[in-house]
């Protein structure tokens, strides 16, 4: 049996003007982790206007990738995934630049992936035990996670946690389409693709400043709710449109049945009611249900094409990552060869002639 390939871990940190905390975040990242041969730090500069990047490099960051302007957390997360894959990452950990997530929790986070029992691991903040969270925020987090668990068919307690680890396979199949937050969308994607998802309880650090991602709880709920609905409809279009069609068909069918009863009753001189309104409204609702169901069928066929496109995208990205690894290996070998050729020959020892 061949020896297992040494694993490379890249910790990606999306950052926007986080000069006050970025050095602490980087210093807190362990560089020696059981089962990991190499640990590197990648900073995603999402349009910083301060000296976050220079502070990060001085603190020990290995790589920086830049956005020319602020593109949002979701775009920064996707840029980090793509860059980490090109840099040869076998495991990718995403953490926040505000130091909400302690770096000391990374070994526990990646352990299920190192052990080969998970594709994605989510850090469970144990929201109900966080003291500085208000009861309202805890209740909203719990309700929201319940909805996401149902939509994703997973059992992740903290579905909006940004502290997560991905295997290379999971990263290759990750693609963000929203412009707000990646957490919910990627979890639903992973659940529908039948990736193995685990969760580990973690502790968190207190972050005093308000979130830069949203403008309060209700703004967060509104935007995340839209992402859940859109993503679920993307992966389950026939089911979604069938539910909508059923909501129209049931009252429509009941109204048509009542219209039929009135019609028969009038013919038998048992009723004197009119049935025009029931007949009209019932017919409209049944027709709406039929058209909605047909739209669901079309959306389901479009979804089949999307699944093929996702597989093509996966194979293209996998090929690009493999080619990049091959180029790095060739460059390394050429560099070793150049150093060997360019080295001065060792001195030759001459024996002294005896008279």
What is the C-alpha to C-alpha distance for residues 21 and 102, in angstroms, rounded to an integer? 12
Q: What is the pLDDT of residues 268-327, one digit of tens each?
A: 777 667 778 889 999 999 999 999 999 999 999 998 888 888 899 989 989 988 888 888
pLDDT of residue 346: 55
pLDDT top residue among 175 and 337: 175
Band of pLDDT at residue 2, cut at 50, 70 and 90: very low
Q: What mean pLDDT is reported for the chain?
A: 87
Q: Among 34-48, 52-66, 197-211, 334-348, which is the least confidently predicted range?
A: 334-348
Task: Report pLDDT digits (tens) over 186-198.
Answer: 999 999 989 999 9
Q: What is the mean pLDDT of residues 51-68?
A: 94
- Least confidently predicted of 13-17, 177-181, 312-316, 349-353: 349-353
| The pLDDT of residue 211 | 66
Output Rg (C-alpha) for the chain, integer angstroms.
Answer: 29
Q: What is the pLDDT of residue 352?
A: 45
Minimum mean pLDDT range among 190-194, 257-261, 347-351: 347-351
Q: What is the pLDDT of residues 108-165, one digit of tens each?
A: 999 999 999 999 999 999 888 877 788 888 888 888 889 999 999 899 999 989 999 9
Kindly state the average pLDDT of the residues 105-110: 96
Q: What is the 3-state secondary structure (H, E, C) of the chain?
A: CCCCCCCEEEEEEEECCCCCCHHHHHHCCCCCCCCCCEEEEEEEEECCCCCHHHHHHHHCCCEEEEECCCCCHHHHHHHHHHHHHHCCCCEEEECCCCCCCCHHHHHHHHHHHHCCCCCEEEEECCHHHCCCCCHHHHHHHHHHHHHHHHHHCCCCCCCCCCCEEEEHHHHHCCCCCCCCCCHHHHHHHHHHCCCCEEEEECCCCCCCCCCCCCCCHHHHHHHHHHHHHHHHHHHCHHHHHHHHHHHHHHHHHHHHHHHHHHHHHHHCCCCCCCCHHHHHHHHHHHHHHHHHHHHHHHHHHHHHHHHHHHHHHHHHHHHHHHHHHHHHHHHHHHHHHHHHHHCCCCCCCCCCCCC
């Amino acid at each position: 049996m061949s020896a297992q390939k040494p694993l490379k871990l890249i910790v990606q940190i999306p950052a926007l003007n986080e000069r006050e905390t970025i050095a602490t975040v980087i210093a807190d990242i362990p560089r020696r982790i059981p089962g990991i041969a190499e640990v590197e730090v990648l900073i995603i500069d999402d349009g910083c206007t301060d000296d976050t990047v220079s502070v990060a490099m001085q603190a020990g960051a290995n790589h920086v990738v830049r956005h020319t302007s602020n593109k949002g957390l979701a775009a920064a997360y996707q840029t980090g995934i793509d860059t980490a894959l090109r840099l040869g990452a076998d495991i990718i950990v995403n953490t926040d630049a505000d130091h909400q997530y302690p770096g000391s929790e990374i070994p526990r986070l990646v352990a299920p992936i190192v052990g080969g029992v998970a594709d994605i691991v989510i850090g469970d903040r144990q929201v109900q035990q966080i003291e500085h969270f208000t009861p309202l925020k805890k209740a909203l987090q719990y309700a929201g996670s319940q909805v996401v668990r149902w939509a994703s068919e997973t059992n992740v307690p903290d579905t909006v946690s940004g502290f997560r680890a991905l295997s290379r396979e999971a990263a290759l199949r990750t693609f963000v389409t929203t412009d707000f937050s990646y957490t919910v969308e990627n979890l639903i994607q992973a659940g529908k693709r039948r990736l193995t998802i685990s969760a580990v309880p973690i502790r968190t650090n207190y972050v005093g400043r308000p979130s830069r991602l949203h403008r309060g709880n209700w703004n967060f709920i509104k935007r995340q709710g839209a992402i859940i609905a859109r993503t679920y409809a993307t992966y389950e279009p026939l089911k979604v449109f069938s539910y909508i069609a059923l909501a129209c068909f049931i009252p429509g069918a009941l109204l048509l049945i009542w219209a039929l009863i009135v019609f028969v009753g009038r013919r038998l001189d048992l009723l004197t009611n009119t049935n025009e309104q029931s007949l009209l409204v019932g017919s409209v609702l049944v027709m709406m249900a039929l058209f909605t169901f047909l739209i669901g069928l079309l959306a389901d066929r479009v979804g089949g094409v999307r699944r093929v496109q996702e597989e093509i995208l996966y194979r293209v990205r996998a090929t690009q990552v493999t080619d990049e690894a091959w180029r790095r290996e060739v460059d390394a070998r050429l560099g070793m060869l150049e150093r060997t050729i360019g080295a001065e020959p060792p001195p030759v020892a001459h024996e002294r002639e005896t008279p």
